[in-house]
Amino acid sequence: MPSSPAPQVKAIGKDLVRFEDVALRYGAGPVVLGGVTFHLAPGSFHFLGGASGAGKSSLLSMIYLARRPSSGRIELFGRDVASLTRLDAAMMRRKIGVVFQDFRLLDHLTALENVALPLKVSGQRDEKVRRHVAELLAWVGLAEHLESYPPTLSGGQKQRVAIARAVVGRPSLLIADEPTGNVDDRMAVRLLYLFEELNKLGTTIVIATHNESLVARFNHPIVRLADGGVRVERAQTGAQTRPSKGSAA
């Protein structure tokens, strides 16, 4: 897979995500990420690759504003995250859908309620929401589990609920941390198609995965973490899906 000489993806228009020499360390511990610089254009689709423990989840957590960098500068939607107030951060997070590696579903809520949560949080309480959420859950194969509680669902089912929750609000930026880790290949491909459909509608996608066969099957650039830094590998030509708009490919 060809690599780009500089660790950055050239943006078309204003970048949606900009990391400039970002470093992260937890407390007084060792540096987890250092000197990370890359830019993601609006509407782009990237995989985030790297060995286990390379810092993929840490990098994603800074994009979805769960952590602030120890040094460097992060811009999201054209704003320096260091200047965000708590209210600004909340408003910005509403534009970001996240699929967490550990799902983070609320066990006391049904699958339907879990998926509807981002809409509830943003003040959408119309009963039409129920139909929309039910349709989305049906799309990910959980039509029979609308009223099921997470502890009664399998790992794969939980993962699909988590994905439905991340995409239900039509986010501008979707971040997924190993979103296909608990589903079979058929469902994994199907979910990737869902992400591509969202991407077609303008959503910027970043998916962390170490499923190389899945990465190879879809034609998108890879932001690869290694040795605490980052390099961007351009997408292979001739892969089965068309290139996503706005990316460096």
Partner 1 sequence: MLFRRSDVPLKGDASGRYLPWLAAVMVYLASLALVCALTMNRAITHWQEGLSGSLTIQIPHDADAAGAAGAPERLERVVALLMATPGVREAEVLEPAEIERLLRPWLGGAAGLDDLPVPQLVSVSFDPAAAPDVDKLAREVAGVAPGAVIDTHRAWLGKVRDLARSVQWVAVLVVALIGACAIAIVAFATRMGLSVHGNVIQLLHLIGARDSYVAGQFQAHALTFVLRGGIAGLVLAVGTVFLIGQGLRGSDVMLLPELTLQPLDWSALLLLPVFVALVAMLTARVTVMRTLGRMP
Interface residue list for partner 1 (CB under 8 A): 64-66, 68, 86-87, 90-91, 93-94, 98, 104, 106, 108-109, 112-113, 116-118, 120-122, 125, 127, 129-130, 133, 165
Looking at the Cβ atoms of 148 and 236, the one nearer to partner 1 is 148
Q: Closest distance between partner 1 and the C-beta of residue 48, in Å?
A: 18
Q: Closest distance between partner 1 and the C-beta of residue 27, in Å?
A: 13
The pair of structure tokens assigned to 179 is 């979103």
Q: Closest distance between partner 1 and the C-beta of residue 95, in Å?
A: 8
Q: Closest distance between partner 1 and the C-beta of residue 68, in Å?
A: 7
Q: What is the DSSP string of the chain?
A: --B-SSS----SSS-SEEEEEEEEE-TTS-EEEEEEEEEE-TT-EEEEEE-TTSSHHHHHHHHTTSS--SEEEEEETTEEGGG--HHHHHHHHTTEEEE-TT----TTS-HHHHHHHHHHHTT---THHHHHHHHHHHHTT-GGGTT--GGGS-HHHHHHHHHHHHHTT--SEEEEESTTTTS-HHHHHHHHHHHHHHHHTT-EEEEE---HHHHHHS---EEEEETTEEEEEPPPTT-SSPPPTTS--
Looking at the Cβ atoms of 132 and 234, the one nearer to partner 1 is 132
Looking at the Cβ atoms of 76 and 248, the one nearer to partner 1 is 76
Question: Mutual orientation of helices 155-167 and 185-200 as an angle, nearest 10°?
Answer: 0
Looking at the Cβ atoms of 10 and 108, the one nearer to partner 1 is 108
Looking at the Cβ atoms of 51 and 106, the one nearer to partner 1 is 106
Q: Closest distance between partner 1 and the C-beta of residue 12, in Å?
A: 27
Looking at the Cβ atoms of 93 and 224, the one nearer to partner 1 is 93
Q: Closest distance between partner 1 and the C-beta of residue 3, in Å?
A: 32
